[in-house]
Amino acid sequence: MSDISKLTDEEIVEKVRSSDRDLYAVIIERYTNKLLRYASHLVHDDDRASHIVQDAFIKSYINLNGFDTKKKFSSWIYRIVHNEAMNVIKKFQKEVPILADFDFESEENIVESLEQKEMSVEINKCLNSLPLIYAESLSLFYLEEKTYQEISDILRIPMGTVAIRISRAKKLMKNICKKT
Amino acid sequence: MQKDLKNITDSVMDQIRNDKIKMRPRIYFILGSILTFVGLASSVVASIFLVGLVRFSIRSHGPMGGFRLEQILSSFPWWAPVLAVGGLITGIWLLRRYDFAFKINFKLLILGFVLAIIVGGLIVDTIGLNDALVRRGPMKGIMRQYMQENNIQGESSWRWNRTP
Taking residue A39's Cβ as centre, other Cβ atoms within 10 Å add up to 25
Instruction: Report, in this order, helix, strand and coil percent for chain B, each rounded to 5.
Output: 80, 0, 20
Interface check for B22 against chain A (CB to CB < 8 A): the answer is: yes
Positive or negative, the CA dihedral B158, B159, B160, B164 is positive
**C-beta atoms surrounding A2 within 10 Å:** 5
ipTM score for this prediction: 0.74
d(CA A124, CA A37): 11
Looking at the complex, does the CB of residue B30 fall below 8 Å from at least one CB of chain A?
Answer: no
Cβ burial, residue A113 (10 Å; 0-12/13-18/19+): exposed
Query: Is the pLDDT confidence value at B137 over 70?
Result: no
CB A38 within 8 A of CB A86: no
Residue contacts between A and B (CB atoms, under 8 Å): 71
Dist. CA B31–CA A139, nearest whole Å: 36
What is residue A141's DSSP assignment? Answer: I
Task: State the sign of the Cα–Cα–Cα–Cα dihedral B82, B88, B92, B95.
Answer: positive
Contact B51, B115 (CB under 8 A): no
Identify the weakest region by mean pLDDT among A60-69, A93-102, B41-50: A93-102
CA distance linking residue A131 with residue B154, whole number of Å: 64
Residue to test with chain B: of A57, A83, A161, most B Cβ within 10 A: A57
DSSP 8-state code for residue A71: S
Least Cα separation, residue B23 to chain A (angstroms): 4
- Residue B146 has a pLDDT of 65
Selected residue with higher pLDDT from A131 and B46: A131
- Å between B14 CA and nearest CA of chain A: 10
pLDDT per residue over B58-107, tens digit each?
Answer: 766 655 555 555 665 666 667 777 777 777 777 777 766 666 656 667 77
* Residue B157 CA neighbour count, 13 Å, CB half: 13
- Closest CB to A33 among B5, B17, B104: B5
- Please list every residue in chain A whose beta carbon sits closer than 8 Å to the beta carbon of residue B103: 152, 158-159
The reply to whether residue B21 touches residue A25, judged by beta carbons under 8 angstroms, is no
When scoring A61, A81, A152 by the number of chain B Cβ atoms within 10 A, the one with the most, hence best to mutate, is A61
Check if A63 contacts B (Cβ < 8 Å). yes
